[in-house]
Amino acid sequence: MPSDRLTFKEMCAAFDVTPRTLRYYEYIELLQPDREGRARYYGPRERARMKLILRGRRFGFPLEDIRQWLLMYEKGGNDAQMTAWIALADGQLDELANQREQLDEAIRELKDLRDSVAREVAGKPAG
């Protein structure tokens, strides 16, 4: 086996993912490892795709968006993929900003409620 390929277990360890996750990414065709009998081997292409998948997940992209984006490279090349990436990133930035606003509001409400209850408790005699 060439040294530039990882086994299934090595791939899981290298990217800190569970075997179930790796199998699922294969099932939905995000990854397509080389197969030799029942063994799977992941070359540089699959490792690069895995990095992009995990980065996309970290940024909150749905797996289907990531899959479509990865397919763009195969169909239209790097320029088409990067152009699509800009549009996806703009949409995700808007979504994350919206989520931040909702989270900030929830934090404010929780703090206000906590402070109100703390004042009430502090004003009552123990008992």
Q: How far apart are CA 64 and CA 1, in angstroms?
A: 32
Same domain for 46 and 83?
no
CATH code, 24: 1.10.1660.10
Determine the pLDDT at residue 77.
Answer: 79
How many domains, the chain? 2
Sequence letter at residue 10: E
Residue with tokens 């990531």: 66
Same domain for 48 and 85?
no
Q: How far apart are CA 9 and CA 84, in angstroms?
A: 33
Confidence (pTM): 0.76
Among the listed residues 45, 43, 47, the one whose alpha carbon sits nearest the alpha carbon of residue 35: 43
For residue 26, tell me if it sits in a domain: yes
For residue 36, tell me if it sits in a domain: yes
Same domain for 87 and 54?
no
How crowded is residue 25: how many other Cβ atoms within 10 Å of its Cβ? Answer: 24
Same domain for 54 and 104?
no
Q: What range defines the domain where residue 51 resides?
A: 1-58
Local mean pLDDT, 10-residue blocks, the chain (127 residues): 84 97 95 94 95 94 90 81 89 95 98 95 78
